[in-house]
Amino acid sequence: MAITINVGQSNVNNALNGKVENNGKKTIFAGNLNAISNTQSLVEEKRNQAKKQAMKVIGDAWDKDNKISADVQKKLDKIDSNKSEINDYESKIRDLEDSKKELQESYGIADDSEEQKDLELLEKYQNYKNGSKIEVFTKDEIARLKELQDTPRTEYQNKVLELNDAVGEFNNEIRNKKLDNAAMSEDIKDTRMAQLASHDMLDAYDAADKIMEASSKEIIGILTNEMKSSIDEKFAEEKEKADKLAEEKEEKEEKLAEAKEKKEEQEALIEQSIEASRLEQDVKMQTQAYDNVADVQKDIQKILKDNNLVDEDLKGIKIDFNF
C-alpha cells in the first residue's frame, strides 16, 4: 500500500521511535523496538561509511600535497645549501686572487712585463683546459702558446699557476652548483604550476562534501521509508481491528435477526395456541366444561410452560379475555 505524506522531522522521529499521536496521547508499540534498533544501526553505519570515504579522499589528497610540498622543500633546502657553498667558494677564490697579487708584488713583477703577459696567457689556457671558463684565443695567442710549451716557466709563474688551478676547481664547483640550483628552481616552478592547475585539495574537499551530501540523502530515504513502513503497519493494524469489529457486528446482527425470527415464530405459536384455546373455550363454554375465567388463565400458563416461554417474551402481546 502506497501512502503519500507530508511530515516534519519530529514526526519522522516519532514514527521511527514507535510513537503514534492519537488525540494528544502517545502509544509505544513494543513490536517496533527491533526495527528501530536495526534502523538506527543502519543509519549510523551509513554515516560512518560516508565519513571514512570523505576522510580517505581528503587524506589521500593531503598526503599527495604533503609529499609534493616535502619534495619542494627538500629542493629549496638544497638550493640554500648550494648558495652557501657557492659563497664559500667565492670567498676562497677571492683569497686565492689576493695571494696571486701578493706573489706578483713579492717577486716584483710588473703588469706589462713579458713574464706577466705570458703568465696571464698560460692562466687563460689553464682555465680552458680544466673547463672553469670559456676562453677564445687569437691567432697570435695560439702561436705564442706553441712557443711557451717548450719554454721553461719561472718560479713565480709556477706558483701563480698552482693557485689558479685551485681557482679553476672552485669555479667548476660554483658552476655546477648554479646549474643544479637552476634546474631545481625550474622543477619547483613546474610543480607549483601543476598544483595550481590541479586543485587537488579543493577537488578533494568538494568530493568529500558530495559524499556526505549523498549519504545524508540516503539516510533521509532510509528514515522516510521506515516512517512509511511504520505508518503502513499501524494502518494495517487499525484496519484489521476495524474488520474484526465489523465482523463481530455482523455476527451480532445475525444473532439478533435469528432471535427476532425465533421470537416472531414463538409469538405466532402463542397466537395459534391462544386461538386454539379460545376455540376450545368456546366449545367448553358451550358444553359448560369451564366454570369461570380462572380455568382459561390456567390453560394459558400451561401453554407458556409447554412452549418454554416467560412473561418477558409476551410483552406487547394483548389478549382479550372478555368473551
Joined together, the cell numbers standing for residue 263 give: 421470537
Q: Is the pLDDT of residue 135 over 80?
A: yes
Q: What's phi and psi for 253, nearest 5 deg?
A: -65, -40
Q: Is the pLDDT of residue 287 over 70?
A: no
**Span 73-120, pLDDT tens digits:** 999 999 999 999 999 999 999 999 999 999 999 999 999 999 999 999
Q: Is the pLDDT of residue 140 over 90?
A: yes
Q: Is the pLDDT of residue 43 over 60?
A: yes
Residue 230 near residue 3, CB atoms below 8 Å? no
Q: What is the largest CA-CA distance in the chain?
A: 196
Q: Is the pLDDT of residue 273 over 80?
A: no
**Span 198-216, pLDDT tens digits:** 777 678 788 888 888 888 8
Q: Which one-letter DSSP state was computed for residue 313?
A: G
Residues in contact with 82: Cβ distance below 8 Å, sequence separation at least 6, in sequence order: 177, 178, 180, 181
**Stronger pLDDT, 255 or 147, i.e. the higher one:** 147
Residue 27 near residue 19, CB atoms below 8 Å? yes
Return the pLDDT at 218: 83
Secondary structure in 3-state letters for 31-59: HHHHHHHHHHHHHHHHHHHHHHHHHHHHH
Rounded Cα distance, 211 and 65, in Å: 21
Provide the pLDDT confidence category of residue 39 given band limits of 50, 70 and 90: confident
- The verdict on pTM exceeding 0.75 is no
